[in-house]
Amino acid sequence: MAPVGFVFLTNRGNLTKAKLYEAIRTRLVKEPGCDAVQLRPSRMRPRTIKARIEPDVFLSQAYPAEEATLEISFSYPRSVNHEYYVVEWGEADRTFGIGWHQDEDHPGLGKCHFQMDHSGTTVDRVPATFLDEHPLSVLEARLDQLRTLLPQIDWSEGVPALPDDGVPSPA
In a domain, 132, yes or no: yes
| 164 domain-assigned | no
In a domain, 166, yes or no: no
Angle at which helix 17-29 crosses helix 135-149, to 10 degrees, equals: 40
Closest CA to 124 of 162, 90, 87: 162
Whether residue 117 contacts residue 101, with contact meaning beta carbons closer than 8 Å, is answered with no
How many structural domains does the chain have? Answer: 1
Q: Is residue 56 domain-resident?
A: yes
CB neighbour list of residue 128: distance below 8 Å, 6 or more residues apart: 100, 109, 110, 112, 113, 114, 167
pTM for this model (two decimals): 0.84
Task: Flag whether 65 is in a domain.
Answer: yes
Domain presence at residue 171: no
Q: What is the pLDDT of residues 128-153, one digit of tens each?
A: 988 878 888 999 999 999 999 999 99
Containing domain of residue 129, as a range? 14-152
Condensed to tens digits (0 to 9), the pLDDT of residues 21-58 reads 889 999 999 999 999 999 887 666 668 899 999 999 99
Domain assignment present for 3: no
Q: How far apart are the first and last CA of the chain?
A: 37
| 85 assigned to some structural domain | yes
